[in-house]
Structure 1
Amino acid sequence: MDTITTDAATAAPRPADARPAASVARPTGFARDTAAVFVRESRPLVRDPFSVVFSLVQPLVFLGLFGPLLVGAAGGDVAGTLQWFVPGILVMVALFGTAATGSNLLFEMQTGSHERTLVAPLSRGALLVGRALKDVVPLVIQGTIVVLVAVPFGFRLDVPGLLVGLAVLAVFGVGLGALSYTLALACRNRDWMFWMVHQTLLFPLMILSGMLLPLDEGPAWMRVAAAVNPLSYVVDAERALLAGEFGDPSILGGVLAAVATCAVGLTLGVRAMRRAR
């Protein structure tokens, strides 16, 4: 009588602590994870590019309505006023475009989609860095559009200065976006707290940066507040860069402020993302 053997009987015994190959997560490198998150977060921009242009409404309103008031105060010097005011509008684009991006993460946490990304075989740090880098794309597009709109009205375009200025803004925007995501992770289901902190900080930072009005003649306490506002250094650097004045010492201050903001934002953001549940 033949003996019937089965695969189970002939298979080598498996150690008790062994796991099926399919269940073992194989995380990829940090750069690849960051690129994957960047592509995922950029898809809505590709599908709806009009949103990038629509978000320019507020900076263009400031340029079109606030700019003429500055021209009148400057004695009708349109070109000189634009040379001073347009760099501030570029910083405004970076400020408005990145400071509120945490609301997208807040929505994902409330709908449960963020929790699904946390269990994916991706680096927690990449989940934050990829999101923050995504903010650079609309920032560069919007900044370029603002400059091109101002050129026919007398703004003098210095291409190398614009490229370096956009790079500085990109670094600053990554840091500010990371801080916005950090705030969203801290607030989670409390939308009101996110927007309360956002609005409480946004406009004082903007006014005390000198992007709308010069602070030279302001009260002493405003000048002191501007001296500790990193945004004011970025504004001064953008004015020097867009004018092509690469030897201006304010450029170094703006670069250092942008790098410091980026370092602090990414450090806090990655730490908060790793602690997320």
Structure 2
Amino acid sequence: MTTATLNPGAAATAAPGTHTRARRSFWRDTRLVLVRELRPVVHDPFSLVFGLIQPLVFLGLFGPLLAGSAGGTLGGDVWLWFVPAVLAMTLLFGSSVTGSNLQVDLSSGVHERMLVTPLSRPALLVGRALKEVVPVVVQAAVVVLVMLPFGLRPDPVGVIVTLAQLAVLGIGVGSLSYALALAVRKQEWMFWVVQQTVLFPVMLLSGMLLPLETGPAWMRVASYANPLRFVVDSSRAAFAGDVASAAVAWGWLAAAATAALGLVVGIRAMVRSAD
């Protein structure tokens, strides 16, 4: 591994080809961190199964209620409206709590031991963020398969687009969760206070549970500041087959912006934690 990976300040005087080697080191380090973090999940797949309980409960209990009370308002197939929302909710719940895993590493000293290795600091964050996204995307794919016998008929390309979009969004949310865990490392309880305080307004203002069209005007206006709202709208359009619609384009923009913000904030927090 080159010095440029660990000492960004030396980049200006690095020899030709150093930047290429640094990029290779970053991606190699990211893969190493990803494999390390995924190994416990592979050895204990029960955690993936347990993570399916919540979305299936929402689909089994809330779905019929939604069909009965708001079916006329939604129009068309209620499952095409509700299943994409549950996938987004699964992603939101799963990726927003990833910082708690880092808190365990902080308290056990694992994080400090990782920092003294020659691994790239950005790779430590990106590898962890990718690890949290993989199980959630797998769970989302399983939810879609489970709902097929119950009448869900999504556009296959739309499903792939939705899962890819959720993965990008999850990287951003997971990175922000890691940054929060590092920021409150001396007050671990504060992580859950902030996470819960932010989680439910973001979820409700996305329109994933009930249509925003029936809400007050201030709520509809506030929802446009919520990136998840655009991703949820995009997922519904994609599932219905409107992959080339403006809603899908706005969803990609919101997911990419969230990922970029999360990576910038998260990488900065990870680098500072090494000081």
TM-score with structure 2 setting the length: 0.88
Aligned to 1:208: 205
Aligned to 2:90: 93
CA distance in 1, matches of 2:159, 2:171: 18
Q: How does 1:168-207 map to 2 (within 5 A)?
A: 168-207=165-204
Aligned to 1:56: 52
Is it true that 1:113 corresponds to 2:132 in the alignment? no
SS in 2 for 1:223: helix
1:59 Cα deviation from its structure 2 partner: 1.5
* 8 Å contact from structure 1 (residues 233, 254) kept in 2: yes
| Runs of 5+ unmatched residues, structure 2 | 1-21
SS in 1 for 2:266: helix
Q: Deviations over 1:190-218 (max 9, x none)?
A: 22100000000111110110000001021
* RMSD (Å), alpha carbons: 1.8
**Equivalent in 30, 36, 39 of residue 32 of structure 2:** 36
Q: Which letter does structure 2 place at the counterpart of 1:110?
A: S
Is it true that 1:224 corresponds to 2:221 in the alignment? yes
* 8 Å contact from structure 2 (residues 169, 259) kept in 1: yes
1:77 Cα deviation from its structure 2 partner: 9.4
* 8 Å contact from structure 2 (residues 173, 262) kept in 1: yes
CA distance in 2, matches of 1:32, 1:247: 35
**Cα pair distance change 1:43/1:79, threshold 3 Å:** farther
* 8 Å contact from structure 1 (residues 71, 78) kept in 2: no
Higher helix share: 2
CA distance in 1, matches of 2:245, 2:40: 39
Higher Rg of the two aligned structures? 1
* 8 Å contact from structure 1 (residues 103, 184) kept in 2: yes
Aligned to 2:6: none
TM-score with structure 1 setting the length: 0.87
- After the TM superposition, list the runs of 4 or more consecutive aligned residues in structure 1 that deviate by more than 3 angstroms: 75-79
Q: Deviations over 1:90-112 (max 9, x none)?
A: 10111011000010001110111
Q: Kindly tell me the number of residue pairs found equivalent between the two proteins.
A: 252
**Cα pair distance change 1:185/1:251, threshold 3 Å:** same
Q: Which letter does structure 1 place at the counterpart of 2:58?
A: F
* 8 Å contact from structure 1 (residues 240, 246) kept in 2: yes
Question: After alignment, is 231-240 or 146-155 more displaced?
Answer: 146-155
Aligned to 2:3: none
Question: After alignment, is 230-239 or 241-250 more displaced?
Answer: 241-250
1:189 Cα deviation from its structure 2 partner: 3.1
**Equivalent in 80, 83, 95 of residue 77 of structure 2:** 80
CA distance in 1, matches of 2:74, 2:256: 34
**Equivalent in 78, 100, 103 of residue 100 of structure 2:** 103
| Runs of 5+ unmatched residues, structure 1 | 1-26
* 8 Å contact from structure 2 (residues 29, 120) kept in 1: yes
**Cα pair distance change 1:87/1:46, threshold 3 Å:** same
Q: Which letter does structure 1 place at the counterpart of 2:53?
A: V
* 8 Å contact from structure 2 (residues 74, 81) kept in 1: no
**Equivalent in 246, 261, 276 of residue 258 of structure 2:** 261
Question: After alignment, is 216-225 or 78-87 more displaced?
Answer: 78-87
CA distance in 2, matches of 1:77, 1:229: 21
Question: After alignment, is 178-187 or 132-141 more displaced?
Answer: 132-141
Aligned to 2:14: none
CA distance in 2, matches of 1:132, 1:240: 27
**Cα pair distance change 1:153/1:76, threshold 3 Å:** farther
CA distance in 2, matches of 1:145, 1:194: 30
